[in-house]
Amino acid sequence: MQRKIHKKIKNEDLDFGMKLDFGFWEDQNQPKPRIPNPKSHALKLFLVIFIILLTSCGYEQGSIEPEYDKDGNPIFNEGDVVGHTSSADYLGLLRNITESPYTHVGILVKENGKIKVLEAVGSGVEINNFASFKSRGENGKFTVLRVKPEFQDSLKEVMDIAKSFIGKDYDDRFEPDDNRIYCSELIYKAFKRGSDAKAGKMKSLSDVLGVKKYNPIVSAVIKRKFGGKPDDILVVSPGSVMRSGYFDVIYTDY
């Protein structure tokens, strides 16, 4: 005879769910959230719902040799996509589960001859110095992708769309509209609307797990944070963007 075990849902489990922003959150001004014990069964169950399967988009990702300046530094172009592993401690949990090192992405823009990063962070969508982006990555490591040659004619449209998001608030609820934007959503929408290249793939939480697998803790967190059903929540992860077959790797120090 099977014995059913009922576990009380702790407030700290729900609070963690409210604070965790799918690994796309980089708030340069706010303190890091307090994280429950990573060995907690409840925490593991919650994190599982945020697995985004890294699937191919129909192209095979390759690598190309970039051009170099006179000092031997690789030359990056406007429209290149950059990703790194946030140095925030709690994101290590997400890396282990999603099997992707990338927890934050941005797109490169050129201002006054200098390459900068257009990104969605805790303070909103903004343009930051490349050095600032790099410093927020674990050990200063990063990867730069360039869309394949057959899609580069549409980069102007892609950049116009990406820049139209500047000033938007950060989207910590992953809503589908453009009122607020999270980091990988910015890249995904810019390329989807401005070209035929697919920067990642949207997945619903129910597609990832299946409704029957949801635990009471998971359901409570989803209801409290998102106010909706997992079937209706579509997300694209930084890892999915960085694995897209529509891009080539032009630089990485991973």
1 in any annotated domain: no
Examine residue 101 and state whether it is found in any structural domain, yes or no. yes
Q: What is the CATH number of the domain that holds 31?
A: 3.90.1720.10
List for the chain the helix, strand, coil content (%; round to 5). Answer: 35, 20, 45
Residue 228's pLDDT band, with cuts at 50, 70 and 90, is low
Mean local confidence (pLDDT), 184-211: 83
Q: What is the model's pTM?
A: 0.73
Q: How much is the pLDDT for 73?
A: 82
CA distance 229 to 38: 26
In a domain, 148, yes or no: yes
The DSSP result for 201-228, as a single string, is --EEHHHHH-GGG--HHHHHHHHHHHSS
Domain assignment present for 5: no
Number of domains in the chain: 1
CA distance 24 to 174: 10
Domain assignment of residue 4, yes or no: no
Pairing state of beta strands 104-111 and 114-121? antiparallel
- The verdict on residue 121 lying in a domain is yes
Is residue 6 one of the residues assigned to a domain? no
Share of the chain above pLDDT 70, in %: 61
- For the stretch 48-100, pLDDT in tens is 444 333 322 334 556 777 788 888 888 999 999 999 998 764 555 555 545 57
The mean per-residue pLDDT over the stretch 1-26 comes to 44
Mean pLDDT of the chain: 76
pLDDT tens-digit series, residues 130-187: 999 999 999 999 999 999 999 999 999 999 999 999 999 999 888 889 999 999 999 9
Domain that holds residue 174: 11-252
